[in-house]
Structure 1
């Protein structure tokens, strides 16, 4: 499991353009030794997209698109490889997606009454958002959960334990089974990292995830995670949380429009990497993404494509700054690419006043 920038579909531009998904989620359970092997191979392929995410994030940071002092620690491992400079169109995509998620998360944390709040990031992989949030002294009462494959979670623990800059932010880690945590962070914050296949949440005997609170406003984040699951699995995983948490919100970032010429090429590129996104065939446009969240039990829904977010949420001054970093000649191609990704968000219950005031 993991999250992406503007993922795997960007291999459309060739090897320099690289994709950057973040592996998260996957298909159904195997029924035989052969299918078990196939499932394991697919899971490994999805996990590998997290490397693309780390490299693309580092490219955007190196060139000045983003400020993220923690990105460097996730591209130095031999398993990740040498940092690669992505094409301008991809760097802009990474920047815009990150800016959108940052804006939504910030509004969630600052909106409404003060008090404890909870974030649950599905398929977090090498995501650095938790480090950025916990490094801010004003952030209090935050309980942050990350869920990913056990192998990915163990690697993250090794990094945090071995790198002083990370260990200073998340100290005194405690490992129990496939979950490690730091429950006594400054300002009443907690961090939990769960080694868990999301499909295991669908088992009848599955208990609630350790450390997850059900009595405080909670934000569920899926950045190209649930799209790797079968549609029914994706829906039931969301249901796992809606059944337990009343004041709940969700952010979903996924590709859309698979049936036009550009979308068909994206799907073809994914297939070449043996990657399939079942929800892409089901939730093909922003309206269907919003309907998906309403059907999941959320009262209020909104969505914007990455193209719309660049136009509406990025100020003129910031656009000028970003343009000055590399310049972008392929504006038509940028609009086409950015129009094929959507950020949809929804909420119900109390604690989402910032979102209710409108972000779109």
Structure 2
């Protein structure tokens, strides 16, 4: 594992660090001596371990800032004491005072507190390398935890039958897409589609055939969507597709193409059974007064889907503001 090491200290301070620390760093160690620059660096590229020179202005402040950042709790902060007056106090007051200083440093945000004493250079280097190992283990455990959480999140947000994102994933992704569209002032649309007369398939052939048909349908849809389109299984035989960078007119074209590629070729369930199906689709585009969660946007698309089914199915219905009151536009 590569070790990302940041040093908040002078060039001379870096030179005194053990050679093994220089060898462990992913990149060459760079001396950062400004508090705000250090914070910016940490936020841009989070390190695994930070060595902090105690005599540098802002050193204790940096340790305290790190302690307050919950998302940066994996960073191992090592405060290296090199202040001359503190070194004198240590030699005069003994181990009890040393223990009090260590307790204070840990309370202020450091994960480790090491004395940089020239007469004890070998011991100091051993302590630094020991803490480097602790930081390495801490970083590895954090990476392992992130990977496990990522796997669990993927399982929780995936539909087990179709491998598409599920409704829970849609509830997380739709607000994010809406925020992005508004911040970047770009269009966004979505469509809801439903398999026409799907209950007849289950009643005639059984639910296993129905499940296989949904799997084949999702495979065909996924292979015919654009790179910016994100499909979700909304429930049963109903699906939602988020259409980023897409106007209402473009969304109707996408819907019409999906309707065509589903209806033009039967689905081969096995070597003896093929089934013809059609789909109905409702399309809506993001408007200024839509809520941030996307409920009103979903509702409009759902109303269009209902209208498409009532008007004969195998149709695409879009919502357009052609007048002060909304009207429905159908594509058959």
Structure with the larger RCO, 1 or 2 (CA within 8 Å, 6+ apart): 1
Taking structure 1 as the reference length, what is the TM-score of the superposition?
0.20
- Higher CA-based Rg: 2
* Higher share in helix: 2
